[in-house]
Structure 1
């Protein structure tokens, strides 16, 4: 599955990024514990001890909340930069199967993300045993959750890289996918509200049901996990990003295995995606700018003007992004 020669090649090519990623992911969790302990010691030195407590609240001030960013960086380095620089062409010409290349790249990044954070978790756990804080909130839940969410974002950006021909396209596709489930429901509903004058929340038994629906919708939207409020939810909520990460893995694997590299430099490697995505971008532009136009003056005229502007903007962005080849 993972070839040693390819693994060595990836290590040598991305050695600095991998080492910095490992250092950051290993130290983030124990540094969270030490930083809180330092604040506690500072409080003891300058205040009455009765007002000082050594409490670890991973839902408030945890350094590990941005660990998912490392997953994005690794995915861009392992896939996107190779596309943009043209080294992917050389790699695909070597006597390796496409599946071997993908599996080596994917599992190298996954190993760095998961194992490094596990080591950081162990170090933080030992620090907690040694320093003995008065209370520890969400330590295990937040630590494990961040691992899963880091894997999800890594898998998402890798999958985007297997569909696209350059770094910009990879990141834009990943971001669009991360917010798309929310947009394709909220934007149409918001436009229906403007046209009919009926508030969507009024269709629910009460306002609490509406907000509950909105929260559940965000649970199925990858970008929603950037906010650490998920830590207050049931631990079973983490099954959703775990499943999404696995789904993105299979999408990336199939795309890398089946799609050729002839369109290197274009937005999408698979030409069939060009037109449907362009139409989707235009539709979202029309709906989004329509809402903005209506909000500016709360009039149908502003709404129509906004839709026209959104259609033009969506067309120009999609045309110059999708159909124009990026020069190396």
Structure 2
């Protein structure tokens, strides 16, 4: 898994994203908390009746996930788009070793950046006035959840790269697939609302629980379960999700890593630059994309709070038009090569 030559090669191709992977949590976590501690100490000294307000800000995790998507896309997708994969496959290493070396360099930096940033936050809180207001015990859980979630996003992004033929398709499909569970939930809700908004009350009775489930299996939204918090007098504590939620990123890591290794071993270079590497996946991909876009087009202007015959009719008209447009666009782009540097 670790070979010095492969480590240097992967680092050379992705060093700017690796540095960004470190800088984003270092800025948004310890540096921001240090500024917060300084500001809080000043306000308490100036205003004796100052009331501390706790606002969990996890927006930075989205930036971190986009960096991880970019890192995985550079390590695999850029190889295909620039035709350097032929050079990689010519190296005296097995393809499994090549894939695991890409996974290992990403996981190593994810672990280092997340661990050091979280440790510095705890140090800032414990050595500043923030220790009077915030509880650091939950940071252990947040650290564990964020570490596993980031590794899961990166592993899943590498897996998606094994079926994509270019960096453009890998980035696009990574974003789509990572948000797909919650997107499918919203599409299903719109479909049911149009057809049975009055008649199927039992579905809406459990819709919140169903939404929580789809939120949980949508990796970019998993960490936002921490945004809830509890307060006792002046002390605040970050809300802790159920420990069972840890199963989700762990399953993402295991399944994505196993399938990614298997697909990378059987990767071919003749479809480099195209959207998909494996021709057998194209019919399933086109059917899935057309169905999703049809449902999106049908529900985009759907009316709320009632379902009558005219609304259902307009839903299907929009769905058919959107699906038809999507079909012709896919036919055009599926065999188009997005490639440069080919000699």
TM-score by length of 2: 0.83
State the partner residue of 1:72. Answer: 69
Call closer, same or farther: CA 1:125–1:319 in 2, change over 3 Å: same
State the partner residue of 2:217. Answer: 220
* Structure 1 position 60 matched with structure 2 position 53: no
Call closer, same or farther: CA 1:29–1:275 in 2, change over 3 Å: same
State the partner residue of 1:90. Answer: 87
Q: CA deviation at 1:270?
A: 0.7
Q: 1:322 pairs with 334, 338, 341, which one? A: 334
Q: CA deviation at 1:276?
A: 0.9
Deviates most, 18-27 or 243-252: 18-27
- Retained in 1: the 8 A contact 2:291–2:323? yes
Call closer, same or farther: CA 1:280–1:124 in 2, change over 3 Å: same
1:38-187 alignment runs, 5 A limit: 38-44=38-44, 47-53=46-52, 57=54, 60-62=56-58, 64-66=60-62, 67-132=64-129, 133-137=131-135, 138-187=138-187
| Distance in structure 2 (CA, Å) of the matches to 1:319 and 1:229 | 43
| Distance in structure 1 (CA, Å) of the matches to 2:193 and 2:20 | 49
Q: Which string of whole-angstrom CA distances, capped at 9 and with x for unpartnered residues, describes residues 22-79 of structure 1?
A: 333445421232132132134236x4122144x7x5x613575343333223212222
State the partner residue of 1:251. Answer: 259
- Retained in 2: the 8 A contact 1:159–1:252? yes
Give me the CA root mean square deviation: 2.7
Call closer, same or farther: CA 1:212–1:62 in 2, change over 3 Å: closer
- Retained in 1: the 8 A contact 2:2–2:101? yes
Q: Which string of whole-angstrom CA distances, capped at 9 and with x for unpartnered residues, describes residues 255-304 of structure 1?
A: 11122222101111111111111011111122221222433996233223
- Retained in 2: the 8 A contact 1:166–1:265? yes
Q: How many residues align?
A: 321
| Distance in structure 2 (CA, Å) of the matches to 1:176 and 1:61 | 24
| Distance in structure 1 (CA, Å) of the matches to 2:247 and 2:140 | 15
Structure 2 residue runs without a partner (length 5+): 228-238
SS of structure 1 residue aligned to 2:49: helix
Deviates most, 128-137 or 152-161: 128-137
Deviates most, 257-266 or 24-33: 24-33
| Distance in structure 2 (CA, Å) of the matches to 1:245 and 1:215 | 21
Deviates most, 217-226 or 309-318: 217-226
Deviates most, 85-94 or 265-274: 85-94
- Retained in 1: the 8 A contact 2:20–2:67? no
| Distance in structure 2 (CA, Å) of the matches to 1:63 and 1:210 | 26
Q: Which string of whole-angstrom CA distances, capped at 9 and with x for unpartnered residues, describes residues 149-176 of structure 1?
A: 2112111211111110111210222122
State the partner residue of 1:306. Answer: 318
State the partner residue of 1:274. Answer: 282
| Distance in structure 2 (CA, Å) of the matches to 1:194 and 1:178 | 26
State the partner residue of 1:285. Answer: 293
Q: Judging by fraction of residues, say which structure has more helix.
A: 1
Higher relative contact order (CA 8 A, sep 6+): 2
